[in-house]
Amino acid sequence: MEVEIALGRAEAHFGVIPPKAAEQIAEARAEKINIEALTKGTLHSGFPIIALVEELRKQVGSEAAPFVHWGATTQDIMDTACILQLRSATELFKTRLTEIVRDLSVLAGRHRNLVLAGRTHGQQALPITFGIKIAAWLTPILRHLQRLDEILPRLLVVQFGGAAGTLAALGAKGLAVMQALADELRLGVPLMPWHAQRDSLVEFAGWLSLVTGSLGKMAQDIILLAQTEVGEVGESAEQGRGGSSTMPQKSNPITSELIVAAARTNAALLSALHNAQIQEQERATHGWQMEWLTLPQMMLLTSGALKHARFLASYLQADGKTMRANIARGNDLILAEGGIYARPGDAEGESGRIGQESLRRGAE
């Protein structure tokens, strides 16, 4: 309805429809829409816009009714409405990502000197600090915020092309109306209508998958660090969180599990959107519907992952004693790099001495 009202105002500005008609269209109210009629109409035509236009025409009266939806096609209204929804969602995503950055920054600072085993190929490698590990979770999120700023100018654009993308019903005023419609909705203007050009939506879906993938990496690390035999972190200090109905000793990393599930599901859904990008001619048959099935799910999964990641960033517990005990359990071979790579004749140097001593103690 917001798009239909904005369209009326834009067209009235250039004399395409009477100003009085635009005023009457702007007085339409969503609460007056007959939802049952809208549902039946959607089932009948496959889209909600025909029924919506009929409902709007009932509200605006006989004089303005013919000018509702003038020169537009169903996809113009639905795509533009979708973009308005995405704008609202991206504002929320940006806020949540910024909160996670802040909380992880605090956590990294708190543990900047807490030593634990860095692990490669699932094995202890070299000592690192827990602060560095947290910084590795944080850094991709900063890039995702930058990516979002780069994507939004391409994503947040109006869709307006009429039946076949030519705006023929508006004559010479089509491009001017498109600009005015974009201005009304505070959206950008594309180079041309993008009915069958879905790359910006797919690019945004890729961003969603990148975000959940990075959060999933953090969650996967926490799952591994929280294993009973490792025991270096806990998702929170809350008693009974992640408990089992049959095993009282369990404290399952349930929050991290949900994030990983969201990340893997988003990665799978992204492939469907890449397939939906292959659309026929000027307006497609089924690719649009594939977007309806996948993009909303990806948005919800990303929102949930962000919520759970914020919890982890706020409440994650680190056990420094266990971290040090795990390093010592390997007989300090984790310090052997200096001995392995010492230059000939450098065995008496500091790095060589530490490395050789570590190897000796390990052999003993």
Sorted by sequence, the CB contacts under 8 Å of residue 304 that are 6+ apart come out as 258, 262
Question: DSSP alpha helices (H): ranges in 31-129?
Answer: 35-45, 49-60, 74-110
State mean pLDDT over 45-62.
89
Distance in angstroms (rounded) separating the CA atoms of residues 333 and 327: 9
CATH 1.20.200.10 range(s) for the chain read 74-157+196-318
| pLDDT exceeds 60 at position 191 | yes
For residue range 116-162, list pLDDT tens digits in order: 988 889 888 788 899 999 999 999 999 999 999 999 999 999 999 98
Distance in angstroms (rounded) separating the CA atoms of residues 144 and 156: 17
Which CATH superfamily, name and number, covers 1-72+160-195? Answer: Fumarase/aspartase (N-terminal domain) (1.10.275.10)
Higher per-residue pLDDT: 132 or 330: 132
Which residues are known catalytic residues?
121, 244
Higher per-residue pLDDT: 333 or 340: 333
Residues 99, 84: contact at Cβ < 8 Å? no
Band of residue 240 on the pLDDT scale cut at 50, 70, 90: low
Higher per-residue pLDDT: 140 or 237: 140
Stated pTM of the model: 0.84
CATH code for residues 74-157+196-318: 1.20.200.10
CATH 1.10.275.10 range(s) for the chain read 1-72+160-195
Band of residue 246 on the pLDDT scale cut at 50, 70, 90: low
Band of residue 250 on the pLDDT scale cut at 50, 70, 90: low
| pLDDT exceeds 50 at position 168 | yes
Residue 343 CB: number of other CB atoms within 10 A?
Answer: 9
| pLDDT exceeds 90 at position 354 | no
- Please tell me what DSSP assigns to residue 103: H
Q: Is 10 exposed, middle or buried (0-12, 13-18, 19+ CB in 10 A)?
A: buried
3-state secondary structure of 5: helix
Band of residue 80 on the pLDDT scale cut at 50, 70, 90: very high
Band of residue 340 on the pLDDT scale cut at 50, 70, 90: low
State mean pLDDT over 91-114.
95
Write the CA distances from 82 to 18, 148, 166, 296, integer angstroms: 28, 17, 21, 10
State mean pLDDT over 80-84.
96
| pLDDT exceeds 70 at position 356 | no
Which pLDDT belongs to residue 303?
96
